[in-house]
């Protein structure tokens, strides 16, 4: 034995940990917003009258959901430059995360749309609302209310999964941890601290989303 844990390096490392955490938060915010918007289109397309759209969205969802995020990330980051599309690591990470997120949330949003009673739509139409207004004002808010907990979970899962984008040298929290442990030779302590940071972030994110969701959706419903 004779190994003593040493956290002396931590003082000089707080800046790196903070900037890594900021990048992780930035990634998850961008991904959640774009992913959710995309998934509203995806879920609608899957319920549209056009079989091609239904099939295409269905295939996309199954393809993403049945392959690991890490492989999707490598495919995008290493594969796309072959087509002449050169991606910055951050852009590649955002693209991979958004595509991954949208597949899962398409299913979630779809379940929410299905949960809204048909009468709601008919009543709104009977009042003379345009079809798109019926969707935006009546169906979507009710669907979002139903799926909010599931959406929150998915966002937290995606934030935790974003740790692997360190593998394509995006300077987020895990990447900074890798750099720190290479410098301090204190691998266990470094990853221990960073794991705690992730834990705090996932608990905080969950609380924040629930608080914000309760207010925004309750307000939107009233």
Partner 1 sequence: MIEFTFWDILRNLLLAARWTILLSIVAFAGGAIAGVAILLLRISKRRWLRRAGEYYIGLFQGTPLLMQLFLLFFGLPLLGFRIEAWTAAVLGLTLCASAYLAEIWRGGVQSLPNGQWDAGSSLGLHYVAQLRLIILPQAFAITRAPTVGFLVQLIKSTALTSIIGFEELVRTSNAINNATFAPFTVYGLVALIYFVLCYPLTRYTKILELRTARQH
Residues in contact with partner 1 by CB under 8 A are 1, 3, 62-63, 65-72, 74-75, 78-79, 82, 156, 160-161, 163-164, 166-167, 174, 177, 181, 187-188, 191-192, 194-195, 198-199, 202-203
Question: Would you list the DSSP string of the chain?
Answer: -------TTHHHHHHHHHHHHHHHHHHHHHHHHHHHHHHHHHHHHHTSS-HHHHHHHHHHHHHHHTS-HHHHHHIIIIIGGGGT----HHHHHHHHHHHHHHHHHHHHHHHHHHHS-HHHHHHHHHTT--HHHIIIIIIHHHHHHHHHHHHHHHHHHHHHHGGGGGGGT--SHHHHHHHHHHHHS-HHHHHHHHHHHHHHHHHHHHHHHHHHHHHHHHHHH-
Query: Which residue number, 29 or 59, has a Cβ lying nearer to partner 1?
Result: 59
The token pair that represents 121 in the structure block: 């739509």
Residue 180 beta carbon to partner 1: minimum distance, rounded to whole angstroms: 12
Query: Which residue number, 26 or 188, has a Cβ lying nearer to partner 1?
Result: 188
Residue 163 beta carbon to partner 1: minimum distance, rounded to whole angstroms: 4
- Cα dihedral 136→138→144→147 (10° resolution): -130
Query: Which residue number, 19 or 167, has a Cβ lying nearer to partner 1?
Result: 167
Query: Which residue number, 16 or 160, has a Cβ lying nearer to partner 1?
Result: 160
The token pair that represents 32 in the structure block: 């959640």
Residue 79 beta carbon to partner 1: minimum distance, rounded to whole angstroms: 4
Residue 101 beta carbon to partner 1: minimum distance, rounded to whole angstroms: 15
Residue 187 beta carbon to partner 1: minimum distance, rounded to whole angstroms: 4
Query: Which residue number, 141 or 161, has a Cβ lying nearer to partner 1?
Result: 161
Query: Which residue number, 53 or 160, has a Cβ lying nearer to partner 1?
Result: 160
Residue 128 beta carbon to partner 1: minimum distance, rounded to whole angstroms: 36
């Amino acid at each position: 034995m004779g190994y003593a844990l040493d956290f002396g390096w931590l003082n000089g490392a707080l800046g790196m940990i903070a900037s890594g955490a900021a990048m992780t938060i930035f990634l998850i915010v961008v991904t959640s917003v774009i992913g959710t918007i995309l998934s509203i289109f995806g879920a609608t397309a899957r319920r549209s009258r056009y079989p091609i759209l239904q099939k295409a969205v269905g295939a996309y969802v199954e393809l993403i959901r049945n392959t690991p995020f890490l492989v999707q990330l490598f495919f995008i980051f290493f594969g796309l430059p072959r087509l002449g599309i050169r991606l910055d690591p951050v852009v590649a990470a955002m693209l991979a995360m958004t595509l991954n997120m949208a597949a899962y949330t398409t299913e979630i949003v779809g379940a929410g749309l299905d949960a809204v009673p048909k009468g709601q739509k008919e009543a709104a139409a009977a009042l003379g609302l345009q079809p798109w207004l019926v969707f935006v004002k009546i169906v979507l808010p009710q669907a979002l209310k139903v799926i909010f907990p599931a959406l929150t979970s998915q966002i937290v899962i995606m934030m935790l999964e974003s740790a692997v984008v360190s593998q394509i040298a995006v300077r987020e929290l895990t990447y900074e941890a890798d750099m720190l442990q290479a410098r301090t030779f204190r691998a266990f302590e470094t990853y221990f601290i960073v794991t705690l940071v992730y834990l705090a972030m996932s608990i905080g994110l969950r609380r924040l989303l629930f608080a914000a969701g309760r207010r925004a959706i309750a307000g939107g419903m009233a």
